[in-house]
Chains A and B, each alone.
Chain A
């Protein structure tokens, strides 16, 4: 069968796409739902980081990803893409931002263009449904704000790293001293039985190595 390759018709998104869309019950029906999502997508492009309820963030993320990937794929001279941008972006000056700022930023990006974090819910937490009432932060990658994730860079000067480093040094010195004491003991035995010479030498070479491994883990 001659079937078109789907990935060539629609650009493949680098996020999980839900098999079934959320309905977001609304008095205006599906159009009202899209209105809500348009507001979120516009907000995301405008502010680059927004905090909102998890279901809506997850839903809006898919549309934002699709919009950016189309903008990268077809550029600003493609009619359909322009219409889509016009539909999804309520504040029209942001269409310029999409093509002139976001497209150059994400051109060589090989991961998703957005990030979605689950954040703590406000107190009191209501466990009604699974991710209803949960909060999330949706952001564009490469935004100018400080990172939300803790800084996990290693800094050897922070107090606990100094203490651990010194503890490590002391442990090693202790082990070396033990090895030396062992070899001296065996050296004494050696005068009685010269056959043990080989064993001791292999012992020395293997022990310090194993100490290192133990301590770094």
Chain B
């Protein structure tokens, strides 16, 4: 039934003609997010008979056991049962003490659950998820902020590293030698802030390789990366969506865009790569969670550092992408 609905949608929007015209990027994002939404609905309906699971929650205000729905309930739903404070502050969930779990990803079995936030004693995993989300959202901003005559094509972003001082997205732009002025960077920052203030939930979904190819058919870089990613992840491609923007990432990410507090897009630097076509630019930025308040002087120091070129992995033609796009969630040991 869903497949039929999908066909109807294809008919109505008439993509064959659209591709002949030069599609603008909002149309492209709309198409991608529609496909994402349809697949999400299909997966939800294919759950069938609802089974119950026991979720043992450990943490404040007290330890509880919740009876939830298998493959439907998410850690976010558990947080809603436990209180508003946990709903607002939880960034990612930790399942069975070892697997990081996206807050909006359905739980598949009975488990122990912890909800992590930014001010824990050991928040390194949360910081990483936060940094990854920032990169992902920077991609969304890059796609949405340019005028129509500039062709924007997202490439990828390296594995998040907070110590490097900035989060990164590598984007192909049809601009020869663009050096952004202060005002342009300011505009990008404002676009970023405006995007985050729309309080988009960050949704996640695992789709098959073919479906991912369909979603990213207009992006040559992503379509090249997809087989590699799927091979490393049991034939599935993990996708994330915020607003209309859909992207591939290993995850997990934080719950909502309103977790971001201070945001700056600090620099855009042209990279030396062997990728054919238009030049690749590295977008860099810094951000802090909403719950962390920092004085402007200290934030200025961080900003100043983030203007320098981030030395993370620079994209090349034949590259092993398993570093950042490997399995969906890998257990990471907290030291």
Contacts and interface: CB of A to CB of B under 8 A. Distances in A.
Interface in B285-323: 286, 288-289, 292, 294, 298, 301-302, 304-305
A160 B163 contact: no
B59 interface: no
B119 A167 contact: no
Contacts of A160: 288, 292, 294, 298, 302
A181 interface: no
Contacts of B162: 159, 162-163
A164 B301 contact: yes
B127 A162 contact: yes
A214 to B, nearest CB: 11
A158 B301 contact: no
B316 to A, nearest CB: 26
A201 interface: no
A160 B299 CA distance: 8
Nearest to A165: B163
Contacts of B288: 159-160
Given A159-B288, A160-B288, A160-B292, A167 B118 contact: no
Nearest to A163: B302
Nearest to A167: B305
A158 B302 contact: no
Interface in A120-179: 151, 155, 157-160, 162-164, 166-167, 170
A158 B163 contact: no
A170 B305 CA distance: 8
Contacts of A170: 165, 305
B298 A162 contact: no
Contacts of B328: none
Interface string A40-78: 000000000000000000000000000000000000000
Contacts of B164: 166
A24 B302 CA distance: 54
B298 A159 contact: no
Contacts of A164: 298, 301-302
B7 interface: no
Interface string B110-132: 00000000110111100100100
A157 B162 CA distance: 11
Given A163-B162, A163-B165, A163-B286, A158 B292 contact: yes
A167 B292 contact: no
Given A155-B119, A160-B294, A162-B127, A167 B301 contact: yes
Nearest to B162: A162
Nearest to B122: A157
Interface residues of B, number: 22
Contacts of B301: 164, 167
A63 B138 CA distance: 59
A163 B289 CA distance: 13
A66 to B, nearest CB: 36
A129 to B, nearest CB: 33
Interface string B137-181: 000000000000000000000000011110000000000000000
Nearest to B292: A160
B289 A159 contact: yes
A167 B301 CA distance: 7
A158 B298 contact: no
A175 to B, nearest CB: 14
A211 to B, nearest CB: 14
Contacts of A166: 163-165, 305
A183 to B, nearest CB: 25
A19 to B, nearest CB: 39
A160 B298 CA distance: 9
A206 to B, nearest CB: 23
B121 A155 contact: yes
B198 to A, nearest CB: 23
A53 B226 CA distance: 63
Nearest to B298: A164
Contacts of B127: 157, 159, 162
7 contacts: A155-B119, A158-B119, A159-B118, A159-B123, A160-B292, A163-B305, A166-B163
Given A157-B123, A160-B292, A167-B302, 14 more contacts: A157-B124, A158-B123, A159-B127, A159-B162, A162-B162, A162-B163, A163-B286, A163-B302, A163-B305, A164-B301, A167-B301, A167-B304, A167-B305, A170-B305
Interface of B: 118-119, 121-124, 127, 130, 162-165, 286, 288-289, 292, 294, 298, 301-302, 304-305
